[in-house]
Amino acid sequence: MKIYVTGCRGIPDIPGGVETHCQELYPRIVQKGHCVEICTRIPYVKEKKNYFKGVGLVHVYATKRKSLETICHTFFSLAVAIRHKPDVIHFQGIGPSLLVPVARLMGYKVVMTNHGPEYDRQKWGPLARWVLRTGEYLGGKFSHEVIVISEIIENIVHKRCGKNANLIFNGVPIPEKRVETCHLDGIGVSKNNYFLAVARFVPEKGLHDLVKAFQHVQGEFKLVIAGDADHETAYSNHLKSLVQKDPRIKLTGYVNGEYLSQLYSNAALFVLPSYHEGLPIALLEAMSYGCPPLVSDIPANRAVDLDPRYYFPCGDVRALGKKLCSFIDRPISGVKRAAFQGIVADKYNWDVIAHQTLAVYEKLIL
């Protein structure tokens, strides 16, 4: 089969949950003998390679204006698709899926993956939320097959679009923990002496709550925030101004590869104070390293089914602060850390996910 993918900023090593999803999934599908081409967004691509692990990379124009970026890129991706003649076009996300009916009119077999209700993100205004809701509806209604990454999203698709979806979780590989600490040394933190957050600087990630809650922590413990803003906003500027008031908080910017592995491997605790998630990739990544999590009690995080002690009420800064202090007083043992890796290995296996995704494609082709 020839699969053509739109809705992803690109691969490899471009930050984002959808991007991580595509980087792990599609090389495995190529290994099974199929052809995959991913449309990248040129502003995010540092080096224009033609292939990554056998996956073709089609570099397509996209404006950097936040409100127009996704729809602009998807439109040009469909125009370019005519030349590539795919068997299946796969739309990643509800924003790009606004153009699913256009792909159907062009005669393509269409699959869309609903990664979650993007319209719940606080960064969007009323018009953008309406557009995203419309994309969710049109994608769910007119795609030949819909993939969802959690039971919560499955229920949304069934209720709004009257369609049964294919439940396929996101996955995470089990990595080797890093013993090197050169990146930690460079930013001024030491092993097991820092909390870690990995997120974009957008309101729904709740990083402002974490920064305020960290004020309850006394002593030399540090907070490392790995991430940045895709588009500089009033919120991201405000967050950075809050961080500057506490020298114990370290900003790394976007990191990946070896540096990110070192951060996950040596953190005392991974913290995700989100108000909104689809299926939180960063949480699963942290658990894959055996890093204990502390996450908000939103439905998407609850779906990972952790012990209650690893949750706190979403938006409750005081409760989050108390939890941070309690984990310093009672650190997590090595045995319990290994249990987090076991959860990921059992439920979020990329090889199984690749097989399940191919089965969806085969419904349309065979």
Domains of the chain, each with CATH number or no CATH: 2-171+349-365 (3.40.50.2000), 182-346 (3.40.50.2000)
Per-residue pLDDT tens, the chain, 366 aa: give them.
999 999 999 999 898 889 989 999 999 999 999 999 999 999 999 889 999 999 999 999 998 887 889 999 999 999 999 999 999 999 999 999 999 999 999 999 999 999 988 887 777 789 889 999 999 999 999 999 999 998 889 999 999 999 999 999 988 888 888 888 999 999 999 999 999 999 999 999 999 999 999 999 988 899 999 999 988 899 999 999 999 999 999 999 999 889 999 999 999 999 999 998 877 889 999 999 999 999 999 988 998 889 999 999 999 999 999 999 999 988 887 777 888 998 898 889 899 999 999 999 999 987
- Reading the block at residue 263, the tokens are 């951060």
CA distance 136 to 145: 13
Q: Which residues contact 247 (CB under 8 A, 6 or more apart)?
A: none
Alpha-carbon dihedral of residues 264, 269, 272, 273, nearest 10 degrees? -150
pTM as predicted: 0.75
- Reading the block at residue 161, the tokens are 């679009």
**What's the DSSP call for residue 147?**
E
- Reading the block at residue 294, the tokens are 């502390």
**Per-residue buried b or exposed e for 86-107, using 16+ beta carbons within 10 Å of the residue's own CB:** bebbbbbbbbbbbbbeebbeee
